Copies of this chain bind each other. A is one copy, B any other.
Amino acid sequence: MSYIEIKNITKKFGDIAALEDVSITLEKNKIYGLLGRNGAGKTTLLNLITNKIFPTEGEILVDGDNVIENDKPLSKIYYMTEKNFYPDSMTVKSAFRWGKEFYPDFDINYAEALSEKFLLKTNKKIKSLSTGYKSIFKIIISLSCNAPVILLDEPVLGLDANHRDLFYKELIQSYSENPRTIIISTHLIEEAADIIENAIVLKNGKIIMNDSVESILSKGFCVSGGAAAVDKFIAGKNVLGTDVLGGLKTAYLMEKLDQNSVPEGLEISKLDLQKLFIYMTNS
């Protein structure tokens, strides 16, 4: 069931098109990865969905309603941005109470339980938090507000590996108990590959891929081994790219694997979403 409809969106800043004729339909209660290089147009798209900026052309509907200056669809969305909009003197605890004002379903008990798990001190001022803890504070608000749509822009910025792991687990747990439509924009693609169902890839303001991660990864494979043997095997095949380390070579192929055609000594492995992304979006 389509929940967010992005119809022929173009957004120009001066003469430069940040997005060009982008159309995507997002289903209710799915987790999407919004992937793209720095400057590909990801944040512009999120800003358009939340009506922080206006499109040059096209329209965006959330649950059937146009988002332009319209509280009904906008109240259904929580947008975690890189920016901080809280007053300087506000503490984490008081931000939770304000969350309840804006989002009637905000779950303060859950926010406090998450704060304990992440060791976030709720009596601290938000502006005094480190980069990692600012992200954690915003992650907690996102998961606790119970908005039907959550947009997360670089949610794991500054988090150490343990906190990223905890975030992914809590997101999946929270989503399984209370499914929502979630869009995650991130540069840590391989880590996110485990939690996103669909990947939307932007390149220079255009959608170049929009499919389930499972389907994307099933369309190709990797082959590793001695450079000469790999070169022989991949000749004439659809090669996305290769990595060489000493005499060892790994090639990334976008085509169906014929197991019987693989010579002894070559190792076949699954495609890796991040590597695939890198080769698709390199200029």
Could you list which residues of chain A lie within 8 angstroms of chain B, going by C-beta atoms? 37-38, 119, 130, 132, 158-165, 169, 172, 187-191, 194, 243, 245, 274, 277-278, 281-283
Contact of A38 among B160, B165, B190, B245 (CB under 8 A): B160
B187 A37 Cβ-Cβ under 8 A: no
A119: chain B residues within 8 A (beta carbon)? 283
Q: How many copies does the complex hold?
A: 2
State in angstroms the CA–CA spacing of A163 and B278 once bound together.
9
B132 A161 Cβ-Cβ under 8 A: no
**Smallest CB gap from A283: residue in B:** B119
A189 B162 Cβ-Cβ under 8 A: no
A188: chain B residues within 8 A (beta carbon)? 161, 188
B161 A274 Cβ-Cβ under 8 A: yes
**Smallest CB gap from A282: residue in B:** B162
A158: chain B residues within 8 A (beta carbon)? 38
Shortest distance between the CB of A196 and any CB in chain B (Å):
14
Q: A188-B188, A190-B190 are in contact. Are A132 and B38 (CB under 8 A)?
A: yes
Most buried by B among A38, A158, A161, A283: A161
Shortest distance between the CB of A216 and any CB in chain B (Å):
15
State in angstroms the CA–CA spacing of A187 and B169 once bound together.
18
Most buried by B among A187, A243, A282: A187
A160: chain B residues within 8 A (beta carbon)? 37-38, 187
User: Would you give 8 A-B contacts (Cβ < 8 Å), ordered by A?
Assistant: A37-B162, A38-B158, A38-B163, A119-B283, A160-B187, A161-B187, A169-B243, A172-B245
Q: A38-B132, A132-B38 are in contact. Are A278 and B187 (CB under 8 A)?
A: no
**Smallest CB gap from A191: residue in B:** B190
Contact of A161 among B130, B189, B194 (CB under 8 A): B189
A159: chain B residues within 8 A (beta carbon)? 187
Closest 4 A/B residue pairs (Cβ): A37-B160, A38-B160, A160-B187, A162-B278
A164: chain B residues within 8 A (beta carbon)? 187
State in angstroms the CA–CA spacing of A17 and B130 once bound together.
20
9 additional A-B pairs beyond A38-B130, A161-B278, beta carbons within 8 Å, are: A37-B161, A37-B162, A119-B283, A161-B188, A162-B281, A162-B282, A164-B187, A188-B188, A194-B245
State in angstroms the CA–CA spacing of A188 and B172 once bound together.
21
Most buried by B among A37, A160, A190: A160
A172: chain B residues within 8 A (beta carbon)? 245
Shortest distance between the CB of A162 and any CB in chain B (Å):
5
State in angstroms the CA–CA spacing of A160 and B283 once bound together.
13
Shortest distance between the CB of A185 and any CB in chain B (Å):
11
